[in-house]
Amino acid sequence: MTEALANLEGVTVQFDDRLVVNRVSLTVHRGDIITIIGPNGAGKTTLIKTVLGLQRATSGKVSRAPGLVTGYVPQHLTLEATLPLSVRRFMLLSGKPLADCEAALARTGVSHLLEASVHHLSGGEKQRLLLARALVRKPDLLVLDEPAQGVDINGQAALYELIRELRDELHCGVIMISHDLHLVMAATDKVICLNQHVCCSGYPADISHDPAFIETFGHQVAESLAVYHHHHNHQHNLHGDVVAGTGHQGACNHEHH
């Protein structure tokens, strides 16, 4: 089993008397790509902030590997619009050398924007900048809140592919939130369907048949996703774990149709 980077056990988050995250348990291992899906207001952002330690759990146990370096791409980048800020300066705020900043920008495909103002970037460019800022820290755990927002459909597929490549290069774990269900099904190892509590979780091909998934997203979505036949060269037990001797999740040849 690969190294556990972060672990939540029965975590609950409450704002006043509103239960936003309800007894959620999850573990992110190095090499994992876990995607959290769920309706608006389901507690997804709150959950990943809890993983990062930015949100305190009301109850339950949160643990992170000692010395864990995290890279976070938040849902919104709030910048003071009147403050002039170039991409170069924004990246240097990470405290990393310029050469590292430039390498991260090159890796996410936006090195040509080094002198541009962050206020004038397109939605897609902004996402790639935020990803570069997360990358320059060389994270063990990359946490992305709707990384493909504002990115056109071809760009989305490319972005998810880039995230997979980065996972391989950095040998990090990835936990992300997405609403792009089709892309999620093709690009992730494990899906967690959240609606305050974990409705269902598992491998993409299996989850679309789960009654809890159908209840949350409706038959139409579930049926359209069921075309994502996912052939494994291994088998899972009832908990979704890979059965010993049949290959490993990270090493199998998944085929998507």
Ligand X SMILES: Nc1ncnc2c1ncn2[C@@H]1O[C@H](COP(=O)(O)OP(=O)(O)OP(=O)(O)O)[C@@H](O)[C@H]1O
- The binding site for ligand X (CB under 6 A) comprises 15, 20, 38, 40-46
Q: Considering beta carbons, is residue 196 or 249 the nearer one to ligand X?
A: 196
Alpha-carbon gap, residue 155 to 214, rounded angstroms: 28
CA dihedral 65, 203, 131, 13 (to 10 degrees): -60
Q: Considering beta carbons, is residue 4 or 54 the nearer one to ligand X?
A: 54
Alpha-carbon gap, residue 198 to 41, rounded angstroms: 14
Nearest distance, CB of residue 13 and ligand X, angstroms: 8
Q: Considering beta carbons, is residue 15 or 256 the nearer one to ligand X?
A: 15
Nearest distance, CB of residue 47 and ligand X, angstroms: 7
Q: Which two tokens stand for residue 3?
A: 């190294």
Q: Which two tokens stand for residue 101?
A: 């900043």
Length of the chain: 257
Nearest distance, CB of residue 176 and ligand X, angstroms: 12
Alpha-carbon gap, residue 18 to 185, rounded angstroms: 31
Nearest distance, CB of residue 55 and ligand X, angstroms: 8
Q: Which two tokens stand for residue 50?
A: 């809890």
Q: Considering beta carbons, is residue 14 or 122 the nearer one to ligand X?
A: 14
Alpha-carbon gap, residue 126 to 133, rounded angstroms: 11
Q: Considering beta carbons, is residue 42 or 105 the nearer one to ligand X?
A: 42
Nearest distance, CB of residue 168 and ligand X, angstroms: 27
